[in-house]
Amino acid sequence: MAIPYDEAPIREDPPGFDHARIEKAVREILFAIGEDPDRDGLRDTPARVARAYAEQFAGLRQRPEDALTTVFDADHEEMVLVKDIEVYSVCEHHLVPFHGVAHVGYTPNKKGQITGLSKLARLVDVYARRPQVQERLTSQVADALMSVLEPRGAIVVVEAEHLCMTMRGVRKPGAKTVTSAVRGDFRDHPETRAEAMSLILGRS
């Protein structure tokens, strides 16, 4: 029986990436669609796909603490929000891309511990570079922020277009999926959440 996607185990420490196996599999796929993998244009494709997958799925071999490396004390306890972080991920149902933006915010803990702004974008990449569903990507980023940085709260909003909905299947170009995950302060205090959402949606 298939495991529902939200219960599927996420392997934090998977075995090494198997280039040779991907090359073999891609060659098989080319045969299976009726192509000739040995023709000029396709000869190097299995190796190219393996290299591309190594990059697209690099997050399977990374942990959130690899991204949130720099934590420093600052006298700042108010919200920090990085908007419009470009996200490229791969839908785990069809293995085609979904892409859009992530907005990631947190309220530092009482010690005023903050992280480097770029680290928030790196954290998004750790989870985006895996076979994903948007809901899980969104909550994983929020949960990782909470556990590594221990802020008073975290908010993550992802807006994305799924190519499996636009280039095939139901074919609805332009349809956007918006997901959010709120933790701590942002879940407990509607006014804190409202402030974050107005900054996120403000498009300023």
Ligand X SMILES: Nc1nc2c(ncn2[C@@H]2O[C@H](COP(=O)(O)OP(=O)(O)OP(=O)(O)O)[C@@H](O)[C@H]2O)c(=O)[nH]1
Measured from the CB atom, the residue of 19 and 94 that comes closer to Zn ion is: 94
Measured from the CB atom, the residue of 135 and 150 that comes closer to ligand X is: 135
Q: Which stretch binds ligand X (CB under 6 A): 72-80, 145-153, 159-167, 188-196?
A: 159-167
Q: Which stretch binds ligand X (CB under 6 A): 70-78, 109-117, 161-169, 192-200?
A: 161-169
Q: Annotated catalytic, 162?
A: yes
* Stretch 90-129 residues interacting with Zn ion (CB under 5 A): 91, 93-94
Q: Annotated catalytic, 62?
A: no
Among 45, 134, 138, 140, binds ligand X (CB under 6 A): 134
Residue 147 one-letter amino acid: S
In the complex, the smallest distance separating the C-beta of residue 5 from ligand X, rounded to whole angstroms, is 8
Among 11, 39, 76, 93, binds ligand X (CB under 6 A): 93
Per DSSP, the three-state class of 84 is strand
Nearest partner of 141 among 153, 159, 155, judged by Cα? 155
> Tokens at residue 139, please?
């909550």
Q: How many residues bind ligand X (CB under 6 A)?
A: 10
Q: Annotated catalytic, 93?
A: yes
Rounded Cα distance between 79 and 77, Å, is 7
189 appears as a binding residue in the annotation: no
> Tokens at residue 42, please?
């396709």
Residue 2 binds ligand X, judged by CB under 6 A: no
Contact 126, 66 (CB under 8 A): yes
Q: Which stretch binds ligand X (CB under 6 A): 16-24, 142-150, 165-173, 193-201?
A: 165-173
- Beta-sheet strand order (sheet of 80-91): 131-132, 80-91, 97-107, 153-162, 177-184
What are the angstrom distances between the C-alpha of 182 and each of 59, 66, 84, 193?
23, 23, 17, 8
Strands 97-107 and 131-132: unpaired
Active site residues: 91-94, 134, 162, 164
